Structure 1
Amino acid sequence: MAKAIKKQALGRGLSALLKDPENDIQSATDKNADKVVGNIVELDMDSIDVNPFQPRSNFNDEALQELASSIKELGVIQPITVRKLDFNKYQLVSGERRYRASKLVGLETIPAYIRIANDQESLEMALVENIQRQDLDPIEIALSYQRLIDEIQLTQEKMSERVGKKRSTITNYLRLLRLDPIIQTGIRDGFVSMGHGRALVNVEKKQDQIALYEKIVGENLSVRDTEKAVKDYQEGNTNATTVEAPSSKEPKKATINPDFISKNLGAFSEYLSVKVDIKASEKGKGKITIPFHSKEEFNRLKKLITGE
């Protein structure tokens, strides 16, 4: 308990140091920088801006409320990480869920690790720390990997070292970005899993990807069933524009039994109080004729049929 109190007091002392204009630390070589950078400091919530490089875009409201309740009872156990922007101004690098939950319960300060970094370093730190620590959905992880490649120019080999993941794992995530956006949204929303997506990415045509995706969702197919469906597609329909090949047999055309017509003819006539005529062909097509002899009778029939 004594250690915790000492640590908290130290954080407040450092916070006061940062609010002193004569000790405005802008780089790791500035005076007193070693006392602040890498240490836990109690920062005012109002002095922190959210990170525009944050890869997470979905925050589950229920989970956020649960975290807020925990913070209300126990406080913020794991400090957030920020980078210094200006005098008494900071930007989140990681810990946006903790930051949002703390705001929900009305905290005025939050414990934070302070880092001094440029935009590129901040982006890399945010992406790497979130991939490692947060429960991003598979598409968010894939987008984070892609941003590390595009904006930091990391190779998959270097990225593997930074995030502690096998190169094959990174490749599997990146391949998800070849899926149609509708399917990517389905993965993010939990309609299908990453396993389903990994199977569907082997289907080149987007329209066929979507057709299979609708089949997966509609029939609640497992990943194994999906892999089989994709294999069947590849073996029998590689040049088809639709998933299912056309049947070699002509579909059976619907027919109307004459007894069915005569049986229901009386019901029409009785309900409308006029002699209704029904003509139908064996192919299933037909016509219903309802006679009327005046405007009043037309309006009566209209009311019976449309309810207006």
Structure 2
Amino acid sequence: MKSSAKNISLNSYDDIFSTEETREDEKREKVTDMPLSELHPFPDHPFQVWDDDSMKETVESIKEYGVLVPAIVRPRADGGYELISGHRRKHACELAGLPTMPVIVRDLDDDAATIIMVDSNIQRENILPSERAKAYKMKLDAIRRQAGRPSKENCAQVGHNFDGKRSVQVVADQAGESKTQVQRYIRLNELTPQLQQMVDDKKIAMTPAVELSYLKPEEQTLLLDTIESEQATPSLSQAQRLKNFSQEGHLNEDSMLAIMSEEKKPEKNDLTIKADKLQKYFPKSYTPQQMEQVIIRLLDGWQKKRQRDQER
């Protein structure tokens, strides 16, 4: 009897441990090889996939080592799975001739999926201004919707339970940008696609582009015609005047042409370094004037050394 009781007890412990291990397995995310034909792009994905040198390197790496980091996907209502992260890896697999790629399937709502999609791509190099603008806007909207319906799942995804006023700061902090810079990027979404392309092509600088984003759509269309006729893009001062004329209701073809045909004034190129960045290099007793004198002396010495090096 004692032996029987002992056996029953051991079996019970085995059942308990087996159940706990099963639960832990269910909690762990499983990597699955998914046919590429089952993987569909994220709706309105803001990041373009380029067939550039970086893609060639990714293809060669996948041919040699396979896909080292699984993509993240979620089930689609229409069947198959929606890529949240891994658009470049999928394209590289296609170029490498692979039929499948490793993925992790997650059950995510639209907002959580959007946040992960943006966060998994935003730190990439060579992101175009229009891509960053759209991505920041998508994430901001998702966070604001989540703030309206806080839950444990939402808080875990974003990191906190945010209200709408702090949402821009959240996007900025998580992207390593200033709040002002994020707001400037988001303003680019108000530009027409043609003007956005000119910003991407570096034909219009970021700061003037933000000012131009306040023009009405029909005024932006008129601006494109004026840019073509004058073969010139607006400087910051011209963009500011165009914005002011628009807000005052005085911007028309004549006033726009008058502003755009003006001779451009050279833009200021001042450099400002905040004192708190310099203070750690100087004694606390140093005044800004003393710090400036030391910096100038060091720069003079650096310049002389460069001149000597060039003469050798």
1:244 matches 2:271? no
Which of the numbers 163, 172, 178 marks the counterpart of 1:160?
172
Q: Which residue of 2 aligns with 1:226?
A: 235
Q: Which residue of 1 aligns with 2:115?
A: 124
One-letter identity of the residue aligned with 1:172: R
1:44 matches 2:58? no
The structure-2 alpha-carbon separation of the partners of 1:191 and 1:71, relative to structure 1 and needing over 3 Å to count, comes to farther
One-letter identity of the residue aligned with 2:135: S
Number of aligned residues: 211
Q: Which residue of 2 aligns with 1:184?
A: 196
The structure-2 alpha-carbon separation of the partners of 1:235 and 1:103, relative to structure 1 and needing over 3 Å to count, comes to closer
Q: From the CA coordinates, give the structure whose radius of gyration is larger.
A: 1
RMSD: 3.9
* Secondary structure at the counterpart of residue 130 of structure 1: coil
Q: Which residue of 2 aligns with 1:81?
A: 72
The structure-2 alpha-carbon separation of the partners of 1:147 and 1:51, relative to structure 1 and needing over 3 Å to count, comes to same
Q: CA contact under 8 A between 1:50 and 1:92: conserved in structure 2? A: yes
Q: CA contact under 8 A between 1:139 and 1:177: conserved in structure 2? A: yes
- Residue deviations 1:283-307 (CA, integer Å, cap 9, x gap): xxxxxxxxxxxxxxxxxxxxxxxxx
Q: CA contact under 8 A between 1:54 and 1:126: conserved in structure 2? A: no
Which of the numbers 48, 58, 62 marks the counterpart of 1:67?
58
Q: Which residue of 2 aligns with 1:259?
A: none
Instruction: Output aligned runs, 1:101-112, within 5 Å.
Output: 101-112=92-103
* Secondary structure at the counterpart of residue 199 of structure 2: helix
Q: CA contact under 8 A between 1:56 and 1:136: conserved in structure 2? A: no
The structure-2 alpha-carbon separation of the partners of 1:163 and 1:233, relative to structure 1 and needing over 3 Å to count, comes to closer
Sequence identity (%): 26
Distance of 2:76 and 2:218 partners within structure 1: 47
Q: Which residue of 2 aligns with 1:275?
A: none
The structure-2 alpha-carbon separation of the partners of 1:240 and 1:120, relative to structure 1 and needing over 3 Å to count, comes to closer
The structure-2 alpha-carbon separation of the partners of 1:33 and 1:133, relative to structure 1 and needing over 3 Å to count, comes to farther
Distance of 1:234 and 1:111 partners within structure 2: 50
Which of the numbers 157, 171, 181 marks the counterpart of 1:169?
181
Instruction: Output aligned runs, 1:1-308, within 5 Å.
Output: 32-36=25-29, 41=31, 43-46=33-36, 48-53=38-43, 55-56=45-46, 58-62=48-52, 64-65=55-56, 67-83=58-74, 90-133=81-124, 135-153=126-144, 155-188=167-200, 192-201=204-213, 204-213=215-224, 226-231=235-240, 233=242, 239-242=250-253, 243-245=256-258
Give the TM-score, by structure 2 length.
Answer: 0.53
* Secondary structure at the counterpart of residue 132 of structure 1: coil
Distance of 1:208 and 1:53 partners within structure 2: 30
Give the TM-score, by structure 1 length.
Answer: 0.53
More helix by share: 2
Deviation, 1:233, is: 4.5
Distance of 2:111 and 2:243 partners within structure 1: 43
Distance of 1:232 and 1:47 partners within structure 2: 52
- Residue deviations 1:234-276 (CA, integer Å, cap 9, x gap): 6889624121239xxxxxxxxxxxxxxxxxxxxxxxxxxxxxx
One-letter identity of the residue aligned with 1:241: N
Q: CA contact under 8 A between 1:82 and 1:112: conserved in structure 2? A: yes
Listed as ranges, the gaps of 5+ residues in structure 1 are: 1-28, 247-308
